[in-house]
Amino acid sequence: MKALDELTFDNRFARLGDTFSAHVLPEPIDNPRLVVASPAAMALLDLDPAVAETPVFAELFSGHKLWAEAEPRAMVYSGHQFGGYTPQLGDGRGLLLGEVYNEAGEHWDLHLKGAGQTPFSRMGDGRAVLRSSIREFLASEALHALNIPTTRALCVIGSDTPVWREKQERAAMVLRLAHSHIRFGHFEYFYYTKKPEQQAELGEHVLAMHFPECLEQPEPYLAMFREIVERNAEMIAKWQAYGFCHGVMNTDNMSILGITFDFGPFAFLDDFDAHFICNHSDHEGRYSFSNQVPIGQWNLSALAQALTPFISVDALRETLGLYLPLYQAHYLDLMRRRLGLTTAEEDDQKLLEQLLQLMQNSGVDYTLFFRRLGDESAELAVARLRDDFIDIKGFDAWAELYVARVAREGEVDQAQRRERMHAVNPLYILRNYLAQNAIDAAESGDYSEVRRLHAVLSNPFDEQAGMGSYAERPPEWGKHLEISCSS
């Protein structure tokens, strides 16, 4: 294990120069202190978890100290926000401190969010508040534990620095990790500003650093775009399968690597609602739960437009045509497993759609239904679950089809069924009310609940002794929390 001063830097993006980013030093926050750290994320950098409790840890990730080899940069990019193009965005409150590589040879960006003003802050103060930092930390690590591609979160550092949102709050910083922080909006920026040389330089950098296998193909850019389409199809399939709502799927919030990126007003479904809107600011429901699939395709189309200097329009259209079939295949495969099915039948999609409609009409808890479905045999499970439904007759008809479908799979050992289903159906998810309880305690100076919740969510599939309250349906107030982009 390494100490903090033993990290090895290789600042590849910074070497692209000032056209791609601006050199900015982080602005320190007052009286920095550790709120929570992720030992699993620290292990990606070969760091000893014990260093999180040292004063220098809080100083490094609060802007008070900087590695000599670090080269903090604020990236420039643009993007489509709620469907409209914004010519210049950029890191308005975040800094890429540098890139480090671990003993396995993996490169990781160290990105400090809430680090102060940059040339791209526009009217913002460049700060992040404690609540938003805690939410991003918990979501990053919770999604990873669910096997959903995501940025990782190393730590949250709190402070006494006042900031103003709807009310006065305290500033915090979250250190996030990713193999790259390059977004769809990076390519859009150089495309729409008509800088073909810089766009080609960006493309060559992305190919060499993140898609080297594509360089072996006859058309490297096309091969890269296909990989991006495939990764996004799989990621969004996992979002839909586990009821995750991103909330702000702007193209500047879409990672070139196909990982969940830039957490804001996200939410996991409590009661199943295909039309759920998690972002209080999304008045028209552009980024509702059911719209995430078509918006994913829309965003890929925006990236495709930016790549027209390198790829023919016909090839781009053909590759975009892969998105929906790939999504559907990934989604149905995962949902079959969530239903305890190990084989494929033609009517499985219909069986699933009927179930989701029944859940929608009855306000059934999405996570707990699938968990309880695997607790015992199909016959006993549906008998216990039927009381959750308003349309009992409709559920009984579905249950009959489901039990027969399971029976066609042949003799099943119930212990194996339970183990197999519980391995893909979490008991614990990051419900908004659980996050809010942890935030309320943290804002009062008690970080124990944030740390406890993080520990529970790091192992979502296994029942944990004494943690039953984290697996309960939320109270009514917990289902109606309003989360906006400032969250």
Residues annotated as part of the active site = 252
Max CA pair span of the chain: 68
In our burial notation (b when 16+ CB lie closer than 10 A, e otherwise), range 101-138 reads bbeeeebbbbbbbbbbbbebbeeebbbbbbbbbbbbbb
**What does 280-297 look like in DSSP terms, one character per residue?**
TT-TT-TT-TTTHHHHHH
> How far apart (Å, rounded) are the C-alpha atoms in residues 1 and 375?
40
CB contact set of 381 (below 8 Å; sequence gap of 6+): 372, 373, 374, 375
**What does 319-330 look like in DSSP terms, one character per residue?**
HHTTHHHHHHHH
Helix H or strand E segment including 244: strand 244-245
Tokens of 370: 């699938």
| Cα separations in angstroms, 407 against 90, 115, 330, 359, 396 | 55, 57, 24, 23, 16
Q: Which of 130, 56, 63, 54 is nearest to 97 (CA)?
A: 63
Helix, strand, coil % over all residues of the chain, rounded to 5: 45, 15, 40
CB contact set of 429 (below 8 Å; sequence gap of 6+): 142, 146, 242, 243, 268, 367, 457, 460
Contact predicate 12/209, CB 8 Å: yes
> How far apart (Å, rounded) are the C-alpha atoms in residues 457 and 244?
14
**What does 377-444 look like in DSSP terms, one character per residue?**
-HHHHHHHHGGG-S-HHHHHHHHHHHHHHHHTT----HHHHHHHHHTTS-S----HHHHHHHHHHHHT
